[in-house]
Amino acid sequence: MYKNVPFLPLAVIGIIVAALTAGQALLIDWLPPADSEQAERTFTLLWFLFWSSLIFFVIVTAVLVYAVWKWRAKDGDLEDGPPIHGNTTLEVVWTVVPSIFLIVVAVYGYIVLDRNEALAADRLNVDVYAQQFNWTYGYPDAGIETGTLVVPEGRQVQLNLRARDVIHDFWVPEFGIKGDAVPGITHKLWITPTKQGTYPVICAELCGVGHSVMRSQVKVVSAKEYSAWIARATAGVKATAAASAAAATLETAPGDVAAGKVVFEAKCSGCHAELGAKAGVGPKIVGTKLTTDELRTQIKNGKGAMPGGLATGTDLANVVAFVESIK
Ligand code: HEC
Ligand SMILES: [Cu+2]
C-alpha cells in the first residue's frame, strides 16, 4: 500500500524545513528568563506549542513542496488534471489527529491558566496606579505609596491594576505576565516571583507622547528584607503624618496680634498697602468678609495672584490674628 509513497524525497525536504525552523527557535533568544512561577508554566506551554506545531508544519510543508515540484504542469500543458476521488482513510486521519491535538492543547492551556490564577491565602495585595506617564504602587495593608514596586520572593502578589487617565498596560517580561490598566475597572494579575533582583516595569499600551518612557522598577527581595522595608516605609509615613499634625496644631493655635503685625509688614504689605487699609497689587484687607478658616486656607494655599506659603506654623496663626483684628 505504501509502495508508491516517495519516502526519500519527503524526508529530505522535511529535514531541511525542520532544520530551518528549529534553527530560528534555538539560535535566537526569544524569551527572557522565567523568574516567576507563572512565567515558568506559561513559557513551557509556549515551547510545547512551538515544537508540536513544528512537527505538523514539517509534515505539511514537505508534502506540499514535493507535490508542487513533482506534479507541476509541463510547459504548454493546458489540459485539466485527471479527476481524483478522495481518500477516506487519509481524510479521517488528518481530521482525527489534529482534533485530538487541539483537545490536548486546550486542556493543557486550561491547566496552566487555572494554576497561574489559583489564589494563595497569604497573598500580598498591591494597588498599581497607571497614569500618563508613571506608575505608583499602593500597599493598602501598610498604608504606604511608592514609586518602585517592592515584593518578597516566593510569595504570591495580587496586583490590582487601575488607570487614572487612559488605558495603560503593566508588563514585566521576566514574570511572563501582562495586564491592561483600564479607567473605571480594577484588573487583577497574580505573580509569584521566584528570583531576587530588579526587573523593569514597562507600559505596553501606547498611551500618549510619554509612552516610551513610562517605566518603573520592581524589586524582588527576601521575605526578611521585605518586612524591614515595610517597617521603614511605614515609620516614614507616620513621621510625616505626625509632623503635619504638629504643624496644624501650631497654625490653629490662638495667634498674637502684635507678632502678626510684624509678619504682615514683612510678608504682606508689599501687596496690601498701609497694613491692609489700602489696595495695592492685592485688595484692601480691612473689611474682608473671609472667615478665620477661609483666611488661614488662603494664606496657606494662595489665591490668584497671591502666592501661598508666605507664613506657616506660628507665623500663620499670628498673621491670621492680625488680619482678624483689622477686619
Ligand atoms: C504678591 C502679592 C501678594 C502678597 C505678598 C500677599 N497678597 Fe494677599 N492678596 C493678593 C491678591 C492679588 C489678592 C486677591 C486674590 C483673589 O481673590 O484673586 C489677595 C487677597 C488677600 C485677602 C483676601 C481679601 C478679600 O477680602 O478677598 C487676604 C485676607 C489677604 N490677601 C491676606 C494676605 C496676607 C495675610 C498676606 C501675607 C501673609 C498676603 N495677603 C500677601 C496679593 C498678595
Ligand atoms: Cu502608559
286 in a structural domain: yes
Q: Is residue 273 in contact with ligand 1, taking CB distance under 6 Å?
A: no
Per the structure, the complete domain to which residue 200 belongs is given by 124-235
Number of domains in the chain: 3
| pLDDT band (50, 70, 90) for residue 85 | confident
Name the residue with the closest Cα to ligand 1, atom 39: 268
Query: Per-residue pLDDT averaged across 293-313, rounded?
Result: 90
Instruction: Convert the pLDDT of each residue in 96-111 to its tens digit.
Output: 999 999 999 999 999 9
Number of residues in the chain? 327
State the distance from the centre of ligand 2 to the C-alpha of 182, rounded, in angstroms: 10
pLDDT of the residue at 79: 86
323 lines ligand 1 (CB under 6 A): yes
Question: What separation in angstroms does the CA of 168 have from each of 26, 61, 325?
Answer: 33, 40, 54
Pair (11, 99) in one structural domain: yes
Q: What is the reported pLDDT for 294?
A: 92
What number of other Cβ atoms are within 10 A of residue 325's Cβ?
12
State whether the beta carbon of 26 lies less than 6 angstroms from ligand 1.
no
- What does the pLDDT look like over 132-178, one tens digit per residue? 999 999 999 888 899 999 999 999 999 999 999 999 999 999 999 99
Determine the 3-state secondary structure of 173 from DSSP: helix
Question: Probe ligand 1: pick from 261, 264, 269, 272, max atoms within 8 Å of CB?
Answer: 272
Q: Residue of the nearest CA to atom 22 in ligand 1?
A: 285
Identity at 68, one-letter amino acid code: V
For residues 249 and 174, the model is more confident at 174
Phi, psi (rounded to 5 degrees) for 283: -75, 175
Query: In angstroms, what is the span from residue 225 Cα to ligand 2's centroid?
Result: 30
Q: Give me the mean pLDDT over the 48-56 stretch.
A: 92
Does the residue 265 lie in any domain? yes
Evaluate: CB of 282 within 6 angstroms of ligand 1: yes
pTM for the full model?
A: 0.64
Assess contact for 320 and 299: CB atoms under 8 A.
yes
Q: What per-residue confidence (pLDDT) applies to 2?
A: 67
Q: Is residue 247 part of a domain?
A: no
Cα–Cα distance, 53 to 48 (Å, whole number): 8
Beta bridge partners of 193: 36
Specify whether 205 is located in the same domain as 188: yes
Same domain, 201 and 261: no
